[in-house]
Structure 1
Amino acid sequence: MSQVPPIKKWLTFVTGVLECLLFGGLIFGWASLVIVLKGENFFSCSSVVNGQENGLSNSSANTTVTPVIFSNETRFTTLSPKNISDADSCAAPENKCPYQDEQLSLVFTIASACLSFMALPNGILYDKFGTRKTRIAASVMYAIAMLMTAFTTVASSEVLFASMCIMAASGGYLLITNMQIGNLFGDKRSTVITLVNGAFDSSSFVFLVVLKIYEGGVSFKAIFLFYSVATSLLLLRSLFLLPNKQFPWPLPQDYNYGICRAKNTRLPGADVELNHNHDAGELQQEALMSNGNAQQNEEEEEEVSTPELYYPTFMKGLKSGMFYTHIFWFSVIQLRNYFFMGTFNPWMTKLAEDNESSCDTVIRYTEAFAITQLFGVLCAPMNGLIMDMYRNYVTKKMVQDKQAGIESAYTKASLDLRSCVVAFSLTTFLGVLFSICVVIPILPIQYLSFVLQVILRSFLYGGNATFFAVGYPSRHFGKMLGADYGAGSIILMLQYPMFLLTVGTFGGDPAPVNIILLVLTALTIIHPVYLYFHCKWLDRQYRENGPQTVKKPRKMEDENLLVVDQVSTI
């Protein structure tokens, strides 16, 4: 039984959810942030003509040319940025500026791709250096990104490319480090992981709050300066509420974490924090030897888990068939989701162009979309609960079959992956339903698409993280998840050419591209089907060969100390 105090465990969980909610996936709130950026005239056509010559500052002009419609037919009017949502602005004279929309779309494309691409380096650093060191580095980079954004001017609009990329990549690392909190909660592990992912997705609502504060009169610079100072909270949490390395699974006895954790009085001078790296067992052995307490019992047989048996090394995990089908499943649905967010404003403008007050309509739907993002944190546990409930159902069925003396259709070799089959099939269904709603060019139906998009995103990222937590050895979690995000980032770069295709070839109508994405989303059913047959193969192997075991030392003289060692490569 773990010695982690319950209040500390729950405080770690609550602050982890809040951290992902307030700092994690802010880039997902692009639909709201882009209004603020246009209010500051970043990349505006007027800045192309005058900004470089006159050094126009985004905070120095009280009356500027302000964009109020968000498409390749952007309208401009002479208004204060604080009146950006004024309905009368829609009646202003026209001044087209496709350059601004293209540049802002490119910023979002590169930043969102960077969020995924940097997951692999982040995962490698996480597995190598542990939680605390890499979180400190990520927190500092996050603060730098906020400072860069705060001091960006119209004349230096290109700085947004760097600041948004750094912000997105740093937020992604916060997610990776917080998903390990699930190891503190035993059989509720999947639920906790998906809840943390849901909080990360819901952080898009932060930029809606930023938009409202901006409209209320607070300067762009002051908002981002405040956020840069707030990153100090990330450093405090890294020190006191997270381990130096990683949370092990399962938790050893007498385990604790943080710089204020209680020391093991039975082993003076041997305050070693257990973790799942290769040196954990050796460090414990050396600590015991130095105190004259090392008396190792006989080696005993221990069953090798399915991930350890088939994917003992990182490279074997990368070469597995289910990894390739998972990349296809994840990349396509993620692209479907990001293309929706990246083209939201042009798309809404296209649908609202026949409306008498199209400007009001665009702003109203933008705010509705941003508000629905907040509910992602409520939708996320649904996927984890489904996986945990299905796993419990299969376990109960196995016990009943054993008591009845009949051969069960299931074995524990495929127990965790079978829950992924159910979750991934449901995610694909939601993706298809969402894509159908997006294709229908009727404005009120898009409220339904907002809801489906939030649920889809929560199911996608929560299920994605859980798959790597249960399907591969825990010591490769960061690297495998990072490789998955890295492959997805390459596919995400298709956003920008798809945007240009929509604006150029299809005259601003995203329907043809959305139809293509609908077909690709339907094809992602390949992944859960492959996993289903893979699980049947694992069950057959288990029945024919029985459980695989290895000899390893487990018991020490002090029975309250659990040595965490790695299974030797098979």
Structure 2
Amino acid sequence: MSLIVIIRNILMFPLGVFLDRYGTSRTRLISMCLIALGSLTMLFSSNVHPWLIFPALLMIGVSGMIVLITDLQVANLFGARRLTVMSILVGSSQSGGLVILFMKLTRETDVTLQTSFMFISIGFVPVLISTIAMLPRSRIPWPLPANYGKSKGMESDPKAWRRRISVGAKRKGDITDILPFIRTKLFLFMIIWLSLLSFKSLAFDLNIDVHLEKLGIVETEQYLSMFAMCMLLCLPLSFMIGILMDCHSNRVQQNHVQQMRNILNAICVNYIISLASSVTSLFPSFGLQTIAYILVAAEKVTLYATLFAFLTHVHFPAEHFGKLTGVAISVSGVVLVFQYPLRILVNSGLSTNMFYTKIILLVLILISGCHPVSVWYHIRTGQIHNQTEYNENDKAVNMVMIDKGDSEEQATNMNAVATSGAESDSAKPKCLQITDL
């Protein structure tokens, strides 16, 4: 299962590049193809061919991540509650572990695994319909323009389509356009924060059965089901973290600095939850371990909710959202490879005492505190910018260049008409005058 998560995360970068270049519709069609192939592969899996389960789960996992990333732009339609809607979408994605619990329960009632995945495939039919009928071909912009959604015939400026083509062609850009943003300390510390917290979360999930065995619990299936039930708390927790990031939105018009302050508050909440879950897991008490399960569920939803809120902030250009998200998640996938040496230590040298392993995870959590400190420092020193202002300036320059080109073209046409008129006059035969005789 851990290898599936690693490969899925690494594949996010090429998929993010595809999203920025070809838009939402084509990316969602890739997701639909993956879920269809994954379900079909799962139908052919059996005791004779058990290896088919691995590519099937990988394709389904990649498809789910694509659906989440492309659905985030729907939150742009909700204005002041944009981050709340975005957090609810993340919470819905993270609570998907409950589906695995339902599949486990249906397995006990003699329902085959292939039948369960067939019903999951049917559930993606509304996603396909929404892709074709509702979502735009490219993306929903943010900040949302005042005339967004109006028909082309309502545009008063006949040259508006030329400007859209000029700006749109410029914004596709190249992969190297994101290098100035990746090299910033703000983005680098965010990658460290995401990688370390993802590593800690995956290490906790993989070693949860070992933790229960150290507590003297032999039959761990019921407690693993309880841990899956804790994931149901992701929905209310996501709503609360979204409200925190959207606070003061109705009272005053938020600027980009105030928006980043609200995101910083949510990042601090995530850091406190992660630190609390690591501390509570140090003590060999079943009650504290139950609290740790709940905190881990809250940690996951706050991690990705604050991550996407951070990357969709106007400090980063919206036309590079897919690439920036892909870089962050792919690097975290590479860091997750180091969980294999940790698992070897757990199963060999440190298996007699899990305390040292938990201390290692706690140190990683302390190091991840560099991200909220970095965001606070950039806010304090005024290094948080609004990329839409730069885009508007570029648009104004393009408009001036187009208008200048139009005026030059008109002048050229007038000169051509005058020249052709003079040539026609010179080409006419002269009439004889009396004086000529």
TM-score strictly above 0.5: yes
Please state how far the C-alpha of 1:416 moved relative to its aligned partner.
2.6
Cα RMSD for the two superposed structures: 3.1
The alignment status of 1:210 with 2:103, answered yes or no, reads yes
Work out which of the residue numbers 164, 168, 171 in structure 2 matches 1:281: 164
Q: Residue 329 of structure 2 corresponds to which residue in structure 1?
A: 485
Deviations 1:135-181 (A, max 9, x none): 01111111211222232223433323322222211111111001111
Q: How does 1:18-417 map to 2 (within 5 A)?
A: 108-256=1-149, 263-266=151-154, 281-282=164-165, 313-353=177-217, 358-359=218-219, 362-389=220-247, 412=255, 414-417=257-260
User: Does structure 1 retain, via aligned residues, the 8 Å contact 2:378–2:384?
Assistant: no
User: Does structure 2 retain, via aligned residues, the 8 Å contact 1:127–1:476?
Assistant: yes
The alignment status of 1:517 with 2:361, answered yes or no, reads yes
The alignment status of 1:458 with 2:351, answered yes or no, reads no
SS in 1 for 2:244: helix
Deviations 1:226-260 (A, max 9, x none): 3234333321121112111100112234433xxxx
Please state how far the C-alpha of 1:458 moved relative to its aligned partner.
1.1
The structure number with the bigger radius of gyration is 2
User: Does structure 2 retain, via aligned residues, the 8 Å contact 1:110–1:165?
Assistant: no
User: Does structure 1 retain, via aligned residues, the 8 Å contact 2:350–2:357?
Assistant: no
User: Does structure 2 retain, via aligned residues, the 8 Å contact 1:143–1:229?
Assistant: no
Deviations 1:245-294 (A, max 9, x none): 100112234433xxxxx8544479x9x9x9xxxx97127999xxxxxxxx
Distance in 2 separating the partners of 1:551 and 1:331? 35
Q: 1:349 to 1:153 in 2, by over 3 A?
A: farther
User: Does structure 1 retain, via aligned residues, the 8 Å contact 2:231–2:297?
Assistant: yes
Q: Where does structure 2 lack aligned partners over 5 or more consecutive residues?
A: 170-175, 400-437
User: Does structure 2 retain, via aligned residues, the 8 Å contact 1:331–1:492?
Assistant: yes
User: Does structure 2 retain, via aligned residues, the 8 Å contact 1:351–1:443?
Assistant: yes
SS in 2 for 1:538: coil
Q: 1:318 to 1:228 in 2, by over 3 A?
A: same
Distance in 2 separating the partners of 1:439 and 1:285? 53
Distance in 1 separating the partners of 2:247 and 2:154? 40
Distance in 2 separating the partners of 1:111 and 1:457? 18
SS in 1 for 2:106: helix
Q: 1:128 to 1:224 in 2, by over 3 A?
A: same
Q: 1:551 to 1:350 in 2, by over 3 A?
A: closer
The alignment status of 1:475 with 2:319, answered yes or no, reads yes
Task: Write the letter of the residue equivalent to 1:456.
Answer: E
Q: Residue 429 of structure 1 corresponds to which residue in structure 2?
A: 272
Distance in 2 separating the partners of 1:185 and 1:322? 27
SS in 1 for 2:312: helix
Q: Residue 498 of structure 1 corresponds to which residue in structure 2?
A: 342
SS in 1 for 2:137: coil
Q: 1:329 to 1:390 in 2, by over 3 A?
A: farther
Distance in 2 separating the partners of 1:339 and 1:206? 21
User: Does structure 1 retain, via aligned residues, the 8 Å contact 2:256–2:384?
Assistant: no
Q: Residue 42 of structure 1 corresponds to which residue in structure 2?
A: none
Q: 1:146 to 1:553 in 2, by over 3 A?
A: same
Please state how far the C-alpha of 1:120 moved relative to its aligned partner.
1.2
Distance in 2 separating the partners of 1:221 and 1:429? 41
Name the count of aligned residue pairs: 387
Task: Write the letter of the residue equivalent to 2:328.
Answer: D
SS in 2 for 1:246: coil
Deviations 1:20-67 (A, max 9, x none): xxxxxxxxxxxxxxxxxxxxxxxxxxxxxxxxxxxxxxxxxxxxxxxx
SS in 2 for 1:418: helix
Distance in 2 separating the partners of 1:435 and 1:541? 35
User: Does structure 2 retain, via aligned residues, the 8 Å contact 1:135–1:173?
Assistant: yes
User: Does structure 1 retain, via aligned residues, the 8 Å contact 2:9–2:333?
Assistant: yes
Distance in 2 separating the partners of 1:280 and 1:216? 61
TM-score where L is the length of structure 1: 0.63
Work out which of the residue numbers 289, 294, 306 in structure 2 matches 1:446: 289
Please state how far the C-alpha of 1:194 moved relative to its aligned partner.
1.3
Distance in 2 separating the partners of 1:120 and 1:191? 26
- How many percent identity over aligned positions? 23
Q: 1:391 to 1:251 in 2, by over 3 A?
A: closer
TM-score where L is the length of structure 2: 0.81
Task: Write the letter of the residue equivalent to 1:329.
Answer: W
Q: Where does structure 1 lack aligned partners over 5 or more consecutive residues?
A: 1-107, 257-261, 287-311, 399-411, 557-570
Please state how far the C-alpha of 1:391 moved relative to its aligned partner.
6.7
Please state how far the C-alpha of 1:423 moved relative to its aligned partner.
1.7
Q: 1:209 to 1:528 in 2, by over 3 A?
A: same
Q: 1:494 to 1:391 in 2, by over 3 A?
A: farther
Q: Residue 527 of structure 1 corresponds to which residue in structure 2?
A: 371
Distance in 2 separating the partners of 1:143 and 1:413? 41
Distance in 1 separating the partners of 2:163 and 2:2? 41
Distance in 2 separating the partners of 1:348 and 1:504? 17
